[in-house]
Amino acid sequence: MPSIYRYRSIGVDFLLLLMILAIRPAFGATAAPLGDPVNAVEAKAGTLLVRAQDDRVLRPVPMLGTEVDIQVTGVVARTVVTQYFHNPTDLWLEGVYVFPLPENAAVDTLEVRIGDRIIVGEIKERAEAKKIYEKAKAQGKKAALLEQERPNIFTTSVAGIPPEGMIGVRIEYQRELLFRDGVFSLRFPMVVAPRYVPGDKAIGISGHGFSPDTNQVPDGSRITPVVAPSHQKPINPVKLTATINAGMAISVQSPSHVIGINESQAGIVEIAFADGAVPADRDFVLNWRPVMQKAPQIALFTEHFEGEDYRLLMVMPPQADVVAESRLDREVIFVLDRSGSMAGTSFEQARAALTMALKRLSPRDSFNLIAFSSVSRQLFVRPMPATSANIEKAIEGVSALTAEGGTEMLAALKLALDDQARGEKVRQVVFITDGSVGNEDALFEFIKQHIGASRLFTIGIGSAPNGHFMKRAAILGKGTFTHIGKHYQVNQEMAELFKRLESPVLTDIRFDWTGESPESYPAPIPDLYAGEPLVVLFKAKDLDKEIVINASVGSKKWNQRVSLKDSLTQAGIARLYARRKIDAIELSFNELVPTLHWQGARRKIKEEVTKTGLQYQLVTKHTSLVAVEKESSVPFEEKLKTWSVPINLPEGWQHGSAWEQPAQELIVEDATVMMAPLAKVKYERVSAFAELYDLRYDLRKEAKVVRGEREVQLIAENQAIHKRKAEKARPYAKKNPLPQTDSPTPSAMQIAMAQILPRTATPAQLFMIIGALLLLTALLLRRRLFSRW
């Protein structure tokens, strides 16, 4: 039985591998003044990583401190963040700086102070900016490059950091403030909630056996934060000042920090930390509300930018009368995709989401449940009141469902949308699917025609749902799209969605302009839910009259006249407008594909985003900020010594290989972004602030990440062993050049994508072996039986 022997030897190998994986080798020697090599998958705000000569890993340099200044006027917050680092080595270094920002932030300024020089960034097309930076670096000039990797992740590369020198990186961005339930809220991230979470393990058999260990909190030595100089008391002390010019008397408070408040004149409030500098161990949150009970209902801000007037209009629907009337009963139709493509983890998540949603219904609501695969079935003939008995019945029904068959989505949509409610009920269709459909166009058309008074909320399940389809379907259905990638996100995401769905206020919002309608965002205007203001950004030159806002409140009409004359001047409106415009451009991909085809649509979007980025001087996916000093200041021989370009390729990268071309960029990314991540989560601290803020959810997220981090580390450290084994054990490896092994540390970009490559193996062999072993045992038993006779 040669095959069995082979299996056994593999089995032994496998066990050995498990044992090896369980023992973690220590890190190599550390360059004295720098921190441990960073090999984690999680980004902490503003860690500067450097790569010294011949060093294959990136190491964090000590951060000396952070200064934050926030200027709030009206609804716009402009934030200036300056972080100081010290190069403790006697080498010239290149550093990379990763920082996360809120998703709607518009970054427009970069200044880097290296030694006594200040270099200021300029907006350029992304590839061009990169070229300028690389060239400056090669010429021994000090240079900096700020790029957007994902909507909320930015990286800055800094070349030419002198030995024993100081570096200051200053970034400016602005964003709209969150205003909900009469309270303005501002959050400055100081600890980054990691976004990267490894994929769920396949149900049943888990990977190479280390996941049970990695569920645990790693030991203390691994989670020590970035090494700081010993004379430095708090790690990364943050000094923060904020000025709020609200134009009215306000009361301010911070739930996160002890703050000092100084009201220099009516309506202008200055804030600073009471203790001076604080350690960067939790996000800073600032809330304020108008002192008078009644907030102004309408606020209009204008900015004159390059010959155009940009305006931001904020309208607060009159809560008292509107809300009372809008407490309309809802009719919620849940649609669950139970087709074959949902089988496995996806369906578990979908069921959990649905069960959670059912439990949130109030007895005044009515509901129905449609489950579809090749055929659609509904639970009740018509929507039923959400009594506990009915909900119980639905939950029971859901738990009995399995996933198999085709995805006949059109039939399900027909069932959900055709049976429109006649009464005064608000009708919400909650559609849970992975969007695995082939007839997108037909579905879009149907939704457009039949949405009527219903609202379609799509919930994407699984690690890679058809997001394009679901986002677009939600826009056409005047609802929202929610992505639930991981099981632990179900409760949080569903709770957030349902909190909104429970109290719709204004629907069918329309602006009637005198004269030509200007370009405005968001378009179309989504429904408004309780406590939310209506915020619209538009560009208009000679708009001096008034606009009428028309909307429905339940079955009644509501309208509001707004005069455009009384407006306040506010810097930053144009860029907020641009930010919204870029979002809209990126969402138009699906509409462009039928006419321009795939690559035409991609090119078009790239062009439009680049144009907008350059016009409004914003960092976007396709435009970057680049700063270069005029004359070279790095000594020539030093330059040669430290920057033998290209920077060391990670082990396994092959010069001149196929990936080189697109990879030219990627390699740089490797050197820079890839190992970017950063100080590890200080676990005890996280739990302390979880208690304070009841961030149990975040804590779970952290735990997951720590696990992911450790998993990746384990693999990194054992890959060499793995590779050697692969070489020995596999006959085809001799026929074929040995596959190249990449450094397993993912880039910040991949972290942001929170995605993994598809899983592609069947348990066929495993079943065969188990079967063979069982048969063998049976045979042995029989033989002993025979011998006894």
Partner 1 sequence: MVARRSLIAGGLALAGVLSVAHGAWIPAKAALAQVLLDRAWRETQRTRAPTKPWPWADVWPVTKLTAPVQKKSMVVLAGANGEALAFGPGHLRTSAPAGVSDNSVLAGHRDTHFEFLKNLKLGDSLTLEAIDGGVHEYKVTDLRVVHETDTRALLPTETATLTLITCYPFDAIVPGGPLRYVVRAQGITGHNPFLDKKT
454 to 473, contacts with partner 1 by CB under 8 A? Answer: 462, 464, 466-468
CB atoms within 10 A of CB 421: 18
CA 169 – CA 119 distance, rounded (Å):
10
Q: Which of 339, 570, 610, 623 binds partner 1 (CB under 8 A)?
A: 339
Tokens of 611: 């144009």
In the set 205, 249, 274, 495, which binds partner 1 (CB under 8 A)?
205
Is the Cβ of residue 301 or residue 481 nearer to partner 1 in the bound state?
481
Interacting residues with partner 1 between 359 and 418 (CB under 8 A): 373-374, 404-407
Stretch that binds partner 1, among 212-220, 413-421, 639-647, 762-770 (CB under 8 A): 762-770
Asked if 646 and 719 count as a contact pair (C-beta separation under 8 A), the reply is: no
Strands 298-305 and 528-529, by their bridges, are unpaired
In whole angstroms, the minimum distance from the beta carbon of 510 to partner 1 comes to 34
In the complex, the smallest distance separating the C-beta of residue 1 from partner 1, rounded to whole angstroms, is 14
Tokens of 367: 């509901």
DSSP string, 238-300: EEEEEEEE-SS-EEEE-SSS-EEEEEEETTEEEEEETTSSEESSS-EEEEEEESSSSPPSEEE
CB of 38 to partner 1, least distance (A): 16
Stretch that binds partner 1, among 257-265, 283-291, 383-391, 756-764 (CB under 8 A): 756-764
Q: Select the span of 9-17, 151-159, 540-548, 580-588 touching partner 1 (CB under 8 A).
A: 9-17
Q: Find the shortest distance in angstroms from Cβ 447 to partner 1.
A: 19
Place of tokens 């489950």: 371
Beta carbon nearer to partner 1, 453 or 772: 772
SS3 for 230?
coil
Task: Examine residue 118 and tell whether it contacts partner 1 (CB under 8 A).
Answer: no
487 binds partner 1 (CB under 8 A): no
Give me the least distance between CB of 624 and partner 1, in Å please.
Answer: 17
274 binds partner 1 (CB under 8 A): no
CB-wise, 423 or 763, nearer to partner 1? 763
Cα–Cα separations (whole angstroms), residue 14 to 18, 205, 455, 517, 725 = 6, 14, 53, 68, 10
Segment contacting partner 1 (CB under 8 A): 180-188, 245-253, 336-344, 675-683?
Answer: 336-344
Size of the site for partner 1 (CB under 8 A): 97
Q: Are 397 and 360 in contact (CB under 8 A)?
A: no
Residues 533-562 that bind partner 1 (CB under 8 A): none
Residue from 139, 319, 567, 755 in contact with partner 1 (CB under 8 A): 755
Does 635 bind partner 1 (CB under 8 A)? Our answer is: no
Minimum distance from CB of 713 to partner 1 (Å)? 11
Residue 489 touches partner 1, criterion: CB under 8 A:
no
Site for partner 1 (CB under 8 A): which residue of 148, 214, 346, 368?
Answer: 346
- Distant-in-sequence, close-in-space partners of 651: CB < 8 Å, separation ≥ 6: 56, 741, 743
CB nearer to partner 1: pick between 2 and 737: 737
Between 685 and 725, name the residue whose CB sits nearer to partner 1.
725
Among candidate residues 493, 489, 506, the one with its CA nearest the CA of residue 455: 506
Which amino acid makes up residue 452? G
Piece of the chain touching partner 1 by CB under 8 A; list 163-171, 340-348, 515-523, 573-581? 340-348
Closest CA to 43 of 682, 674, 679, 743: 679
Is residue 262 near partner 1 by the rule CB under 8 A? no
- Binds partner 1 (CB under 8 A): choice among 340, 496, 634, 668: 340
247 near partner 1 (CB under 8 A): no
| Angle at alpha carbon of residue 83, lines to 631 and 136, rounded to 5° | 25
Answer left, alpha or beta for residue 435, where phi above 0 means left and psi between -120 and 50 means alpha.
left
Contact call for residue 646 and partner 1 (CB under 8 A): no
> Contact with partner 1 (CB under 8 A): which of 230, 362, 760, 787?
760
From 4, 10, 389, 688, residue interacting with partner 1 (rule: CB under 8 A): 10
Yes or no: say if 429 and 560 are a contact pair by the CB < 8 Å rule. Answer: no
Nearer to partner 1, 189 or 405 (CB): 405
Phi and psi torsions of 564, nearest 5°: -90, 5
Taking the least distance from each CB to partner 1, the nearer of 57 and 81 is: 57
Q: Are 280 and 235 in contact (CB under 8 A)?
A: yes
**Strand order through the sheet with 59-60:** 59-60, 47-51, 93-100, 153-161, 143-150, 623-628, 122-125
Interface region with partner 1, contact rule CB under 8 A, candidates 6-14, 185-193, 254-262, 326-334: 6-14
Which listed range, 139-147, 511-519, 541-549, 772-780, lies at the site for partner 1 (CB under 8 A)? 772-780
Contact 359, 391 (CB under 8 A): yes
* Subset of 142-201 contacting partner 1 (CB under 8 A): 196, 198-199, 201
* Token pair recorded at residue 691: 């208690």
In 384-524, which residue ranges form alpha helices assigned H by DSSP?
A: 388-400, 409-418, 440-450, 467-476, 490-501
Interface residues for partner 1 in 422-451 (CB under 8 A)?
Answer: 434, 436, 438-439
Contact string (CB under 8 A) for partner 1, positions 691-730, x = contact: -----------------x--xx--x------x---x--xx
Asked whether position 482 contacts partner 1 by CB under 8 A, the answer is no
Indicate the length of the chain as a whole number.
789
Whether 546 contacts 313, CB under 8 Å: no
Residue 117, Cβ density class (10 Å: 0-12 exposed, 13-18 middle, ≥19 buried): middle
Contact range with partner 1 by CB under 8 A, out of 206-214, 219-227, 540-548, 624-632: 206-214
Give least dist CB 482 to partner 1, A: 18
CA distances from 312 to 538, 550, 566, 611 (A): 7, 18, 12, 22
Q: Give CA separation, 567 vs 294, 505, 562, 765, in Å.
A: 20, 26, 11, 72
Give the 3-state secondary structure of 682-703. Answer: CHHHHHHHHHHHCCHHHHHHHH
Q: Does the protein bind partner 1 through residue 610 (CB under 8 A)?
A: no
Q: Check residue 735 for interaction with partner 1 (CB under 8 A).
A: yes
Nearer to partner 1, 293 or 762 (CB): 762
- Verify binding: residue 16, partner 1, rule CB under 8 A: no
Stretch that binds partner 1, among 300-308, 478-486, 632-640, 742-750 (CB under 8 A): 742-750
Which structure tokens are listed for 316?
């607060």
Position 212 contacts partner 1 (CB under 8 A): no
Q: Are 641 and 55 in contact (CB under 8 A)?
A: no
Applying CB under 8 A, the span of 63-71, 424-432, 693-701, 758-766 interacting with partner 1 comes to: 758-766
Cβ closer to partner 1: 67 or 742?
742
Is 230 one of the binding residues for partner 1 (CB under 8 A)?
A: no
Residues between 576 and 605 that touch partner 1 (CB under 8 A): 597-599, 602
Cβ-based neighbour number of residue 481 at 10 Å: 21
Question: Considering the rule CB under 8 A, would residue 109 count as an interface residue with partner 1?
Answer: no
Q: Which residues in 659-678 contact partner 1 (CB under 8 A)?
A: 659, 662, 666
Buried/exposed 734-763: b ≥16 CB within 10 Å, e otherwise: eeeeeeeeebbbbbbbbbbbbeeeeeeeee
